[in-house]
Structure 1
Amino acid sequence: MTKSKLLLSVALASLILIFCITAGVSFGSTPIPVKTVWQIVGNKLSPDWFEVDWSLGRESIVWDVRFPRAILAALVGAGLAVVGAVLQAVTRNPLADPHLLGVSSGAALGAIVALLHTGLIFGLLTVPLFAFLGSLAATFAVMAVSRFTGGSAERLVLSGVAIAFVAAALGNLAIFLADPRAAHTVVFWMLGGLGLAQWQHLLYPGVALALSLTFLVLRAREINALAMGDETAATFGIPVARFKATLFVVTALLTGVMVAFSGAIGFVGLLVPHLVRLVFGSDNVRVIPLSALVGAVTLVLADIVARTIMAPEDMPIGVVTGLVGGIAFILLLRKR
C-alpha cells in the first residue's frame, strides 16, 4: 500500500468514526435528531452560533451524557486495539491481547485496590495510576512465567491465562476484605462499562493514547523487525531486550489508563488487529494507526448496542464485546 492509499484509508476510517460517534450521540432511549446534536455541539464550542430551539434536557443528554461517553468509547477502543496489535507483533503470537494475557485483569485489580482500600489519595490520578501499576505487574509476571515454563508463543498465552486467573482471584479477595457497602462500585470494572464518562476524565485516556500512539507509529518499522524474530531485529541494530521492555511498559500504561475509565473489556484488542491485517496486510506502519481507528469504531458501535438493546437500562459493554467478539473470532478462525 502506497503512502497516498494509507492516508486515504485513514481519512475514510476517520469519517466513518465521526459518523458512528454522531449515531452514538443521536441514538438512545430518547432519540435526538442529528441536526440538533451538531447544533448543540456547535453552540457549546462557539456560543450563539445557532438559534437555541431545543430544551435544556436535550442539551444535557447530548453534551453531559452521550457525547463524552461516545468519545471515551472511541479512545478506549483505539487504545485496546493498538495494544493488541503491538502485543501480537512483539510476542509473535496471534492470540495475544491485553485481556487474554492478563494485562486487563491486572489493571482491574489495581483499580479495585485503589477504590476499596487506598481511596483517592492522588485525586483523579489514583485509579489510572494503580491500574497502570497493576497492568505493568501483570505484564512482567506473564513474561516471567512464560520464560520459566519454556518461553514458547503457546506458553505465553497459557501464562497470560494463568496470571489473569490469579489477578481475578486477588481482585475477588480485595472485594471480600473491603466494606460490603462499597463493593458494588467495582462491578463496573469487572463487567466493563462507559456510563461513568465525564468531560474532565477524558484528558487522561486522551493524552495516554496520543503519546503512546505517536511513539508506536514512529517505531512501527522496528516493531516489524521484532515480528520477524529477535535475531532478525538484532541484525538491524535494535537493542531487542530494551526495546521489548519499553513496548511492554507503553502497552501496560495504555491498558491501565483505559481500564481505569472503562473496566475490563475483552476481544477488541484480539479481534480488531486481525481484521485490519486481513484487509491491509501485516505492515505495522499501516496496522497500528488503522487498528486505532477500527477499534474506535468497533467500541462506539458496541456501546450503541449496549445502550439500546435493553433501553432504558445499560447492558455492560463487556458483555456485548464478549458475545460479538467471540462469535466473530470463531468465524475468523474458520475462514483462515
Structure 2
Amino acid sequence: MQKNNYAAVIVTLFFGFTSIFIALSFGAAPSKFIDVYHSLIGQGHDPFIERIIWQLRMPRTLLAFLAGSGLAIAGLILQTVTRNPLADPYLFGISSGASFGVVCFMTITGISAGISMSAAAFVGSLFTMLLLVFIAGRASRGQVETMLLAGVALSFLFSAFTSLLLYFSDPQAITAILFWTLGSFARAQWATLWLPALVILSCTAIMMGFRRQLNAMLLGDESAVTLGIPVQRFRLLMLILSSLITAVLVAMCGGIGFVGLMIPHIVRFFVSQGTPSGLMMTALAGGIFMVWVDVLSRILLTNQELPIGVITSAIGSIFFLSLLYFRKRES
C-alpha cells in the first residue's frame, strides 16, 4: 500500500512538471511548446520570447504553484487540528485578518511591495488567531466549534474594517487595492519568490516532523492527551504555521479562497493524509490546481486577465455546496 502511495506521488510530481511546462506557453503572446523547450534548455532563438518566458511567465507560474501548495497545506493543518473537514483559512478569518493588515499598511505607507507587506499580513493573521484562541478558551469541550463560529464572525468583521479603510482611501489607491484583494500572480518577480518558497517549504517540513502528533489530534483532544501530546500548545503551534503560510501568500498574491478546503478533500479520496506521501500529494495537488487556475485566468477573456480569486471562489462554492449535499445524503 505504501509503495502505491509513493507511486502516486511520483505520477503527481511528473504531472506537476508537465503542468508548469504547458503553462509557460500561455499568455498575451502565445508561444509554441518547442519555443518554450528551447528557452528552458538555453537554446532559444528569439530573445524576446526568452525574456517573456524567463522574466514574466516562469516566476508567475512558480508563484502559482507555491501558492496552491501553501494554501492546501494550510487547509490541511486547520482541518486536522480542529477535526473539522470544512476548515479553511478563509472560514477561520485568517485570510481576512491578513488582508486587513496589508490594506492598513498600504493605506498608511503607500508601499505596495516588499517584505514589509508580508510582515503586516502576518501581524493581521496572527492577531486573528490569538483572538480565536482567546474566544475559544482552554476548555476542550466545544472549543473547535467555538473557534469555527468565531472565525466566521472575525472574517466578516475584518472584511468590514477593510471596506471601511477603502472607503476613506484615495480613489487611485482603491483601484490597485481592490485588484490586489481579488487575487493575482501578475506581480510575481524572481527577487521576491524566495520568501514564499522558504516559508512554505519550512512549514511543510515542520508538519512532516509532527505528522504523528497530527494523526493523534484526529482522535480527539482526550485521546491525544493520553498519548502525551500537549494539545493546547500543539494546536497553537499549528495555527501559527497556518497563519504564517496564509499571511505570506496573501501579501504576495492577494485573496485566494477555497483552495485549502477543496484540495485536502480531493486528495483524501486517494491516499491517507497522515502519511508523508499524503502530505506531499496534498502540496503537489494544490500547486497543480493553482497553475491551471492561473492559465484559465489568462485565456478566458481576450486581452484581459481574470482575477484568480474569482475563479477559485466560483469553483470552491460549487465544491462546498456539493460537499454539504453529499454529506447530508450520507447522514
* TM-score with structure 1 setting the length: 0.91
Question: Which residue is equivalent to 1:33?
Answer: 32
Distance in structure 2 (CA, Å) of the matches to 1:135 and 1:284:
28
Amino acid at match of 1:9: A
- Going from structure 1 to structure 2, the CA distance change for 1:282 and 1:72 (only over 3 Å counts) comes to closer
Q: Corresponding residue for 2:311?
A: 320
**Equivalent pair of 2:77/2:239 in contact (CA under 8 Å):** no
The 5 A counterparts of 1:86-125 are 86-120=77-111, 124-125=114-115
SS of the aligned residue for 2:172 comes to coil
What SS does the corresponding residue of 2:27 show, helix, strand or coil? coil
Structure 2 residue runs of 5 or longer lacking an equivalent are none
Deviation at 1:30, TM superposition (A): 2.4
Q: Pairwise mapping of residues 188-199 of structure 1 onto structure 2 (< 5 A)? A: 188-199=179-190
2:279 equivalent to 1:288: yes
CA distance in 2, matches of 1:249, 1:188: 27
Q: Which of 240, 245, 262 lines up with 1:254 in the alignment? A: 245
The residue aligned with 1:47 is: none
Aligned equivalents of 1:332, 1:281: Cα separation in 2:
19
In structure 1, C-alpha distance between the alignment counterparts of 2:268 and 2:132, rounded to whole Å:
25
Is 1:141 aligned with 2:141? no
Tell me the C-alpha RMSD between the 2 structures: 2.0
Seq. identity, %: 35
- Asked whether 1:19 is paired with 2:18, we answer yes
Check whether the contact 2:138–2:232 (CA below 8 A) recurs between aligned residues.
no
The amino acid that maps onto 2:302 is A
Q: Is this contact kept in 1: 2:297–2:308, CA < 8 A?
A: yes
Deviation at 1:233, TM superposition (A): 1.2
Kindly indicate whether residue 125 of structure 2 is the aligned counterpart of residue 126 of structure 1: no
Q: Which runs of 5+ in 1 are unaligned?
A: 44-49
Residue pair 2:297, 2:311 contacting (<8 A) in 1 also: yes
How far apart, in 2, do the equivalents of 1:173 and 1:151 lie? 33
Contact 1:108–1:259 (CA under 8 A) maintained in structure 2: yes
1:46 corresponds in structure 2 to none
SS at match of 1:265: coil
Deviations 1:298-319 (A, max 9, x none): 1111111111000320000101
Give the alignment of 1:1-336 within 5 angstroms: 1-2=1-2, 4-43=3-42, 50=43, 52-54=44-46, 56-120=47-111, 124-147=114-137, 151-336=142-327
Letter in 2 for 1:168: S
Structure 1, residues 235-261: CA drift from partner, whole Å, max 9, x if none? 221121111111111111111001111
- Cα distance in 1 for partners of 2:138, 2:221 equals 19
1:88 and 1:330 map into 2 onto residues whose CA distance is 18
Q: CA deviation at 1:83?
A: 0.5
Q: Is this contact kept in 1: 2:9–2:277, CA < 8 A?
A: no
Alpha carbons 2:6, 2:277 under 8 Å: kept = no
Q: Deviations over 1:94-149 (max 9, x none)?
A: 1111011110111111111121213459x721001111111111122223334499
Instruction: Give the letter for the 1:34 counterpart.
Output: F
Is the deviation greater in 176-185 or in 213-222? 176-185
- Note the C-alpha offset of 1:10: 1.7
Q: Is the 8 A contact 2:5 2:271 kept in 1?
A: no
Letter in 2 for 1:28: G
Q: Provide the secondary structure at the position in 2 that maps to 1:279.
A: coil
Equivalent residue pairs, number: 326
